[in-house]
């Protein structure tokens, strides 16, 4: 299961009740921040999440409303000594700007008090956890090296507790070994194999986050059967020419992508102050009913059915 908490949901400029783009994605002991707009550290504190385990930051693209918050967070972390290292993932153009921000402004003339790793990403797997992967995919927006991210749990076979109990498998390390695919030998000499106590293979949870995008072409396959799709909703369909001009998409395009990709839930963010929220919601739900518009500090659980 993935848990996502929105720290900022506004488009381009902050609004009275919406900060700039940033989302926390948590999975077991892992925590990822996706984008870090201006004011994100205040949002982290207001959300109650704080700075713990903030060791991985994924940047979708180089625009300032997605990276300026790094300056404040790194400055604060340097004083508080909350963590001792951080890895920032992004495309080359984003990392070039971030490097200037860090080393020419925040820590100019000094050494950062924590270990900083800037990792250039390419399409494909960028991080492998024990039971999930983080995959980068290219998107089209203004400028080069723009990416979205897929958080994908590995497929697994559920452990059948009742069957294991009937076979006399004790609680403890024996069951863990069976889950890992290892046979065990019981005290009476019987050998129990994983196939004896594991169910059919089931796909894990899939979370897709597009970042800012100027078109949806090519994204249906990426989002196919996702349990949640998080994407922008900067314009209404009536303003499609303006959306095209600014390399963003409309609510209708987002909803059609969700429908065509057979996703379970659509979560819209990057909200413009030019529209009423209920109008955005109505346009999306007319096409894809299971749509919600994220607000700052909203939390969603994304899990396989």
Instruction: Give the pairing type, strands 132-138 and 266-269.
Output: unpaired
Whether 65 is a known active-site residue: answer yes
Distance CA 31, CA 251 (A): 29
Alpha-carbon distances of 159 from 154, 167, 176, 182, rounded to whole Å: 15, 13, 10, 13
Q: 35, 65, 239, 296: which one is catalytic?
A: 65
What domains sit in the chain, N to C, each tagged with a CATH number? Answer: 2-156+201-302 (3.60.15.10), 161-197 (no CATH)
Distance CA 74, CA 72 (A): 6
Distance CA 257, CA 251 (A): 10
Binding residues: 61, 63, 65-66, 141, 212, 270
Tens-digit pLDDT string for the chain (305 aa): 999 999 999 998 999 999 999 999 999 989 999 999 999 999 999 999 988 889 999 999 999 999 999 999 998 887 766 688 899 999 999 999 999 999 999 999 888 888 999 999 999 999 998 899 999 999 999 989 999 999 999 998 888 999 989 999 999 899 989 888 899 999 898 999 999 999 888 889 999 999 999 999 999 999 999 999 999 999 999 999 999 999 999 999 999 999 999 999 999 999 999 999 999 999 999 999 999 999 999 999 999 87
Residue 113's pLDDT is what? 82
Binding residues for Zn(2+): 61, 63, 65-66, 141, 212, 270
């Amino acid at each position: 299961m993935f848990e996502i908490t929105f720290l900022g949901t506004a488009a381009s400029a902050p609004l009275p009740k919406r900060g700039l783009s940033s989302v926390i994605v948590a999975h077991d002991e892992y925590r990822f921040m996706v984008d870090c707009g201006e004011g994100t550290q205040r949002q982290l504190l207001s959300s109650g999440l704080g700075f713990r385990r903030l060791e991985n930051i994924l940047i979708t693209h180089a625009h300032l409303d997605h990276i300026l918050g790094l300056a404040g967070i790194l400055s604060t972390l340097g004083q508080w000594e909350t963590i001792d290292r951080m890895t920032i993932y992004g495309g080359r153009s984003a990392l070039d700007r971030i490097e200037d921000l860090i080393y020419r402004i925040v820590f100019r003339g000094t050494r950062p008090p924590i270990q900083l790793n800037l990792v250039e990403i390419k399409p494909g797997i960028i991080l492998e956890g024990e039971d999930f992967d983080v995959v980068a995919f290219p998107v089209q927006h203004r400028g080069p090296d723009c990416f979205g991210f897929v958080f994908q749990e590995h497929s697994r076979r559920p452990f059948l507790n009742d069957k294991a109990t009937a076979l006399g498998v004790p609680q403890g390390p024996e069951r863990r070994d069976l889950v890992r695919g290892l046979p065990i030998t019981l005290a009476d000499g019987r050998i129990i194999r994983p196939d004896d106590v594991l169910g059919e293979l089931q796909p894990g949870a899939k979370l897709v986050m597009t970042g800012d995008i100027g078109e949806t072409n090519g994204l249906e396959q990426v989002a196919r059967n996702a349990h949640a799709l998080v994407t922008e909703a900067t314009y209404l369909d009536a303003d499609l020419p303006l959306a095209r001009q600014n390399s963003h998409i409309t609510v209708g395009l987002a909803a059609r992508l969700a429908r065509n990709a057979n996703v379970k839930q659509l979560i819209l963010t990057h909200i413009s102050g030019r529209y009423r929220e209920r109008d955005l919601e109505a346009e999306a739900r007319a096409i894809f009913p299971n749509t919600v518009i994220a607000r700052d500090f909203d939390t969603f659980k994304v899990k396989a059915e």
